[in-house]
Chains A and B, each alone.
Chain A
Amino acid sequence: MFPVLTTIVFLPLVGALLLLLIENRDGRRDAVIRWTALAASLLVFAATLLLWSRFDPSCADFQFVERHDWIPSFGVQYFVGVDGISLFLLVLTGVLTPVALLSSWESVHKKVKEFSAFLLVLESAMLGVFVSLDLFLFYIFWDAMLIPMYFLIGVWGYDRRIYAAVKFILFTAAGSVLMLLAIIGLAWMHNSITGTGYSFDLLKLYDLRLPWQYEFWFFLAFTLAFAIKVPLFPFHTWLPDAHVEAPTAGSVILAGVLLKMGTYGLVRFAFPLFPSAAAFFAPALALLAVIGIVYGALVAMVQPDLKKLVAYSSVSHMGFVVLGICALNVQGMQGAIYQMLNHGISTGGLFLIVGMLSDRRHTRQIAEFGGLKAVTPRLVAVFLLMTLSSIGLPGLNGFVGEFLILLGAFRWDPRYAAFAASGVILSAVYMLWMFQRVNYGPVTHDENRSLPDLTVRERWVIIPMVAMAIFMGVLPGIFLRPMQPSVDRLLQRVSREAVARAPAAGRTDVTLRATVPADVRVKN
Chain B
Amino acid sequence: MSSSSIVAIVPILCVMAAGIAAMLAEAFREPGERIPISGLGLVGLAGAGISTVLLWGRHATGFGVVAADTFGLFVVMILVVIGVMTMLLSPRMVERDQLPGGEYYALTLFALAGMMLMAMATDLLVIFLALEVMSLAVYVLTAIRRGAEASVEGAFKYFILGGFSSAFFLYGLAFVYGIAHTTKLDGVGSALAGEAASHPTLALVAVGLLLVGFGFKVSAVPFHMWTPDAYEGAPTIVAGFMSTGVKAAAFAAFVRVMVTAFEPLRAAWLPVIWVMAAITMILGTVVGVAQTNLKRMLAYSSIAHAGYILIGLAASNDVGRGAILFYLLVYGVTNLGAFAVIGLLATRDRANDDLASMAGLSNRHPALAAVFAVLLLSLGGIPPTAGFVGKWYIFNAAVRSGDYGLAIIGVLTSVVSIFFYLRVIVMMYMAEPGDAPSSPEPSRAAVLTLAATLIVTFYLGILPAPLLELAARSVGSLF
Contacts and interface: CB of A to CB of B under 8 A. Distances in A.
B268 interface: no
Nearest to B423: A166
7 contacts: A70-B465, A165-B426, A177-B415, A180-B395, A181-B408, A184-B399, A188-B400
A184 B382 CA distance: 16
B415 A154 contact: no
A144 B462 CA distance: 12
Contacts of A170: 415, 418-419
A517 interface: no
Nearest to A170: B419
Interface string B378-418: 00001110001000100110011000100110011011001
B430 A71 contact: no
B464 A143 contact: no
A177 B409 CA distance: 11
A155 B418 CA distance: 18
- The 3 closest A-B CB pairs, nearest first, are A177-B411, A140-B383, A71-B465
A229 to B, nearest CB: 15
B235 to A, nearest CB: 32
A185 B415 contact: no
A173 B399 contact: no
B403 to A, nearest CB: 11
Contacts of A51: none
A139 interface: yes
B143 interface: no
Interface in A366-389: none
B396 to A, nearest CB: 5
Contact of A173 (B415, B429, B430): B415
Give the size range of B's interface with the partner.
20 to 34
Nearest to A156: B430
B205 to A, nearest CB: 36
A74 interface: yes
Nearest to B395: A184
A180 B392 contact: yes
Nearest to A185: B399
B149 to A, nearest CB: 35
A72 interface: yes
Given A73-B469, A147-B382, A178 B430 contact: no
Contacts of A143: 382-383, 388
A151 interface: yes
Given A143-B383, A146-B382, A181-B404, 12 more contacts: A71-B465, A73-B469, A74-B396, A139-B383, A151-B429, A155-B430, A166-B426, A173-B415, A180-B395, A184-B399, A185-B404, A188-B399
Interface string A37-72: 000000000000000000000000000000001111
Contact of A166 (B382, B419, B469): B419
A163 to B, nearest CB: 10
A135 B343 CA distance: 39
Interface string A138-177: 0110011011001100110000011001100110011001
Nearest to A184: B399
Contact of B382 (A144, A154, A185): A144
Nearest to A221: B408
B384 A144 contact: yes
Given A166-B419, A185-B399, A188-B399, A155 B429 contact: yes
Contacts of B395: 180-181, 184
Give the size range of A's interface with the partner.
20 to 34
Contacts of A174: 412, 415
A173 B418 contact: yes
A154 B472 contact: no
Given A144-B383, A155-B430, A178 B399 contact: no
B404 A177 contact: no
Contacts of B472: 73
Interface string B417-439: 01100100010011100000000
Dominant secondary structure of chain B at its interface with chain A? helix
Dominant secondary structure of chain A at its interface with chain B? helix
B468 A73 contact: yes
Contacts of B468: 71, 73-74
B141 to A, nearest CB: 35
Interface string B455-477: 00000000011001100100000
B123 to A, nearest CB: 32
Contacts of A165: 426, 430
A192 to B, nearest CB: 9
B467 to A, nearest CB: 10
B325 to A, nearest CB: 14
Contacts of B404: 181, 185
Contacts of B422: 150, 166, 169
Contacts of A71: 464-465, 468
Contacts of B87: none
Nearest to A163: B426
Nearest to B319: A74
Contacts of A136: 392
A259 to B, nearest CB: 21
B272 to A, nearest CB: 24
Contacts of B388: 140, 143
B463 to A, nearest CB: 8
B242 interface: no
A302 B469 CA distance: 58
Contacts of B431: 162
Nearest to A161: B430
A72 B472 CA distance: 12
B258 interface: no
A72 B407 contact: no
A489 B186 CA distance: 58
A181 B400 contact: no
Nearest to A136: B392
A174 B465 CA distance: 27
Contacts of B418: 169-170, 173
Interface string A451-489: 000000000000000000000000000000000000000
A48 B430 CA distance: 34
Contacts of B304: none
A140 B384 contact: yes
Contacts of B400: 188
B377 interface: yes
Contacts of A73: 465, 468-469, 472
Interface in A315-366: none
Contacts of B415: 170, 173-174, 177
Contacts of A162: 426, 430-431
A72 B466 CA distance: 10
Contacts of B382: 143-144, 146-147
B465 A181 contact: no
A72 B468 CA distance: 10
A184 B431 CA distance: 38
Contacts of A188: 396, 399-400
A225 to B, nearest CB: 11
B134 to A, nearest CB: 33
Nearest to B422: A166
B383 A184 contact: no
A147 B382 CA distance: 8
B283 to A, nearest CB: 19
Nearest to A20: B370
A170 B413 CA distance: 12
A169 B431 CA distance: 18
A407 B279 CA distance: 52
B358 to A, nearest CB: 14
B407 A181 contact: yes
Contacts of A140: 383-384, 388
B369 to A, nearest CB: 11
A178 B415 CA distance: 10
Given A154-B429, A166-B419, A184 B392 contact: yes
B429 A180 contact: no
Interface string A186-220: 00100000000000000000000000000000000
B213 to A, nearest CB: 32
A17 B213 CA distance: 48
